[in-house]
Structure 1
């Protein structure tokens, strides 16, 4: 009997250790609308894992719940299945921005539902995004101070690009007449941030990140800035491959 029990215990342990990392589909209802999102679930998920919220760029918008897996952090995760955190990957609908209140609320709702489902550690919630998702990351960091333990923001910005009035791609809520970068820095407060940008970005000007970095430095915030010389807009590949990024991020707890 004891030998049988030991065998079953060993098989259970082997089965548990063999659990693969995977992406799973989920949905969340916000303001009467259902949104689908993806969650990266690490292999051998630990009790109370860290949880990362990832915001994609404008090219991954839609409702297929697949395009957000094609750029940025998700492809990196496919090559690094030993990543130790749950990653929440919402999808912004077509013709919307992460800085829109509806999209921002949806992203936070997907994060909250995932924290509840996977029993995430609320002291280890992290934020990252690229391009439009970089803008959205600044928006969420400003609107939800004290929620995230650290953030990595890639080729994002704060102010409007060009004269396209149909695009609301700028941090919302900045008072008229205020310096938007100083205002965001004040709202972000004590959140540790690592900013990344390509030195030759012709989509979101590198100056957006330089100014945001300077505003945080002026407040003596914990901020790092990495600029990749000669790199255009796709700086997320180098950013997510930065060897010390995740050790830095996960060293921070609220």
Structure 2
């Protein structure tokens, strides 16, 4: 069952069309008919983790309904640690940042169907983590009828802009963070299958991205199902060398992002995995370090156009 959260009417679109920011659109083809507006839906599912009833977001881009012949690229997005929740009344926290925030709240015209699930707490609400304990549903960003809300302030950091030596030996480093997206492996693939069956999806243009905890989840899921994705983009989450062999074997295009001043996920851990990919013969690997940014380098990554255009340049080969 799907529930429509919010959808602007065609009349509202006509009133706003003259003032909309068309520079954000990644599409260049002229519209011959009035395109349908974007929608944010909630899909029900039963989790294989604990058999609980949960929901996840599915974003349908502008023009989905008015172009019945078109099959759309799909992006699976995995959020960070602070957006965990029960998949019901807490699902809105998934809107805090990332491509879904950009597309729905900031009205960036992204031509993707976006699948955005929520990672369960798994006890993180009992650990005394400030950014989880102090969060409020009142701060969940809302899509406005007119315009867009002001962005949150950038993270403050005292870390100097300086090159940090790479940690080359990852033998004693755990490949994943505790209680992460790997626990939802079966659910995530089931969501992807369900959306690809239910909506008009271009299966050959299936992409995977995540930030922080979701960056680690991106590496993990890509290592398990490299044949399912045309390209991946882990953002401020590094990949362990032990996960790289399947990704290299399938020549899965990778664009890794990091913040040079990130005190939460230190840049020294990023190099070993990427170097392993190259040693395994994988030559389609990008690594962009935003030297001036901290952990929230994701804002620059997802608010721009470069990543999305890069995604669309790849499709699965048969």
User: What TM bracket, shorter-length normalisation?
Assistant: 0.7 to 0.9
Tell me what 2:102 maps to. Answer: 76
**Is 1:36 the equivalent of 2:55?**
yes
Q: Deviations over 1:126-166 (max 9, x none)?
A: 000000000100010001021000011101124xxxxxxxx
Verify: 1:213 aligned to 2:294, yes or no. Answer: no
Q: Are 1:60 and 2:83 counterparts?
A: yes
TM-score under structure 2 length normalisation: 0.64
Partner of 1:146: 227
Structure 1 runs (4+) deviating above 6 angstroms are: none
Most deviating of 89-98 and 235-244: 235-244
Give 1:108's aligned residue: 189
Q: 1:80 deviation in Å?
A: 4.0
Q: Any idea what SS the aligned residue of 1:125 has?
A: strand
Give CA deviations for 1:42-75 in whole Å, capped at 9, x if unaligned.
Answer: 0111532111000000100002211011122222
Segment of structure 1 superposing worse, 134-143 or 17-26: 17-26
Q: How many residues are paired up?
A: 217
* Secondary structure, aligned partner of 1:237: helix
| In 1, Cα distance between equivalents of 2:73 and 2:55 | 21
Q: Which residue number in structure 1 is paired with residue 303 of structure 2?
A: 241
Query: What residue number does 1:202 align with?
Result: 263
CA distance in 1, matches of 2:209, 2:215: 7
Task: Compute the displacement of 1:81 (Å).
Answer: 3.9
| Counterpart for residue 168 of structure 1 | none
Structure 1 residue 203: deviation in Å? 0.9
Partner residue of 1:49? 72
Offset at residue 30 of structure 1 (A) = 3.5
Q: Spell out the pairing of 1:165-204 with structure 2 (5 A cutoff).
A: 180-181=240-241, 183-189=242-248, 190-204=251-265
1:5 alignment counterpart:
none
d(CA) in 2 for partners of 1:72, 1:207: 24
Please report the RMSD computed on the Cα atoms of aligned residues, expressed in angstroms: 1.9
- Does residue 128 of structure 1 match 2:209? yes
**What CA deviation, in whole Å up to 9, does each residue of 1:165-216 have, x standing for no partner?**
xxxxxxxxxxxxxxx41x3221212110100000011111112222222222
Q: Distance in 1 between matches of 2:278 and 2:303?
A: 25
Is the 1:42–1:85 Cα contact (8 Å) retained in structure 2? yes
Q: CA deviation at 1:233?
A: 0.8
Deviation (angstroms), 1:217: 2.3
Q: Secondary structure at the match of 1:234?
A: helix
What stretches of structure 2 of length at least 5 have no aligned partner? 1-30, 123-178
Q: Where does residue 237 of structure 2 map in the other structure?
A: 156
The answer as to whether partners of 1:131 and 1:156 remain within 8 angstroms in 2 is yes
Displacement of 1:99 after TM fit? 2.1
Q: What is the match of residue 10 of structure 1? A: none
Q: Alpha-carbon deviation of 1:115?
A: 1.2
The 2-side partners of 1:200 and 1:211 are apart by 18
| Paired position in structure 2 for 1:228 | 290
